[in-house]
Amino acid sequence: MIILNNIKSNYSRDLKLNSFKKFEKVFKDIVKNISHQNNILNVLNKNFKFSFKKDEIKKFKKFKKIVLIGMGGSIHGTKAIYSFLKHKIKKKVYFLDDLDENKISKIKKKEIPSQMLFIIISKSGNTIETLSNAFSLNIFKRNAKNLIIITEKKDNLLFRLSKKLNLFYVKHKNYIGGRYSVLSDVGILPSYLMGLNILKLRSKLLEFIKGNNKKTLRESSIYLSHFLNTKKKNNLIFLNYTPELENLLFWCQQLIAESLGKKNKGFLPIISKAPKDHHSLLQLYLEGPKDKIFYIFSAETKAKVKININKSLDKKNYLNKKFIRSIKEAQKNALIKTLKKNKIPFREFKIKNLDEKTIGMFFSYFILETICIGKLSNINPFNQPAVEQVKKFTKQLLN
């Protein structure tokens, strides 16, 4: 993964020096916490201890169809992994990450439940949408051999059901919040059962705490923290030129929004399909309010479709013999040229390979950067107090 920054901001030399010193202090604390068990950052440690063992879950690998049931951080990461590495996955995977009656009905009508593996994930064990989807599918059976429950080991509904019905249970570590859980049991267990190499997925997690990669992390965190605190740039426009990255960006959207949206501060990450949105939103992006930073995402995928124009139709059409991928690349580069010309801040993320190592690096980079920005801005990047209030009111209305 290559990160190219063009987000420098004009502010005093003294402030830059102070920010540099503060970053080094934050960074030192982060590196220290990576090695500490029972710390959320320990999930990046190469010696992180999972709550499951491969030998215990090998019996579930026989299932060719998997249904993942969860909400938010409990499922976004795995969904991103599946989309990013779908070319390597031979199994059919359903994701129930909303209250979608049509999707539930489709599974009931088209699939045989006994031939499917159901993985239910909820840190609290009481997530309303997760429970609603699971109960709608009527999958809770005593001694069920096609059901895995991942939740905290405490008095919650899912944990009680796992004990009462003798279901396969995996402990969700209580110190790892949903949006930071993709590299824990929450994302790694399903990845293993989808047939992916989980050792490679976790092999490059610490690439951005050393060498030039650390410089990228430092520069990005300092400048983005400055934008966050001055509130001059409130929107992050994720322009995505590679469909395989879309769910990865939804994971990133939640991470940034929930972690930094506090104390009347925050970035609003907006996922925008390109080049489709060149013809609908680009005018606003470029000449509307100057409150945006553009994140441009692309991957070097194999060119598949080539344009061949019959000479009788147009002898010298500039599109002839061009690959669709080449056209998108030209559109992306044209946008970058325009952003530079108009001095609009942007970042470019270029994915070299769609493989396990790369997606692991992507996850770890954005986790580290988000935490650094929060710490530099005096924001707690780990809690979500406003969301908890909505959950509380929802339960009151349903009782």
Instruction: Report pLDDT digits (tens) over 192-250.
Output: 999 999 999 999 999 999 888 999 999 999 999 999 999 989 999 999 999 999 999 99
pLDDT over threshold 90, residue 317: no
The DSSP letter of residue 114 is: G
Domains in the chain, number: 2
Q: 143 and 218: one domain?
A: no
Q: 179 and 261: one domain?
A: no
What pTM, to 2 d.p., does this model score?
0.94
Q: 92 and 22: one domain?
A: no
DSSP annotation string for 297-366: EEE-PPP--B----TTT-TT-TTTT-BHHHHHHHHHHHHHHHHHHTT--EEEEEE---SHHHHHHHHHHH
φ and ψ of 370, to 5 deg? -65, -45
How high is the pLDDT of residue 11? 61
Give the structural domain span for 284.
2-27+204-376
Q: 12 and 78: one domain?
A: no
Q: Is residue 21 helix, strand or coil? A: helix
Determine, yes or no, domain membership for 259. Answer: yes
Helix axes 13-34, 356-376, angle to 10 degrees: 120
Determine, yes or no, domain membership for 208. Answer: yes
Q: What is the pLDDT of residues 93-136, one digit of tens each?
A: 999 999 999 999 999 999 999 999 999 999 999 999 999 999 99
| Residue 98 belongs to domain with CATH number | 3.40.50.10490
CA distances from 134 to 160, 243, 309, 323 (A): 15, 29, 52, 44
Mean pLDDT of 164-171: 98
Share of the chain above pLDDT 90, in %: 84
Residues in Cβ contact with 340 at an 8 Å cutoff, skipping those fewer than 6 apart = 6
Determine, yes or no, domain membership for 368. Answer: yes
How high is the pLDDT of residue 17? 74
Q: 137 and 251: one domain?
A: no
Determine, yes or no, domain membership for 384. Answer: no
Determine, yes or no, domain membership for 44. Answer: no
Q: 191 and 208: one domain?
A: no
Distance CA 101, CA 104 (A): 5
pLDDT band at 393 (very low <50, low <70, confident <90, very high): confident
Instruction: Pinpoint the alpha helices (H) of the chain.
Output: 13-34, 54-57, 76-84, 101-110, 128-136, 157-164, 185-193, 198-201, 211-230, 246-260, 282-287, 324-341, 356-376, 385-398
How high is the pLDDT of residue 309? 81
**Lowest mean pLDDT across 263-277, 310-324, 337-351:** 310-324
Determine, yes or no, domain membership for 232. Answer: yes
Nearest to 26 by CA among 41, 7, 13, 12: 41
Q: 210 and 97: one domain?
A: no
Q: 102 and 164: one domain?
A: yes
Mean pLDDT of 323-336: 94
Q: Last residue of some domain: 201, 234, 256?
A: 201
Q: How far is CA 143 from the centre of its chain?
A: 33
Q: Last residue of some domain: 146, 167, 201?
A: 201
Determine, yes or no, domain membership for 82. Answer: yes
Determine, yes or no, domain membership for 93. Answer: yes
Q: 221 and 370: one domain?
A: yes
Mean pLDDT of 286-295: 96
Q: 159 and 227: one domain?
A: no
Q: 148 and 208: one domain?
A: no
Q: 220 and 346: one domain?
A: yes
How high is the pLDDT of residue 125? 96
* Residues 225/376, Cβ–Cβ less than 8 Å: yes
Q: How far is CA 216 from the centre of its chain?
A: 20
DSSP annotation string for 214-248: HHHHHHHHHHHHHHHHHTS--EEEEEES-GGGHHH
pLDDT over threshold 70, residue 191: yes
Nearest to 239 by CA among 171, 173, 285: 285
Q: Last residue of some domain: 147, 182, 201?
A: 201
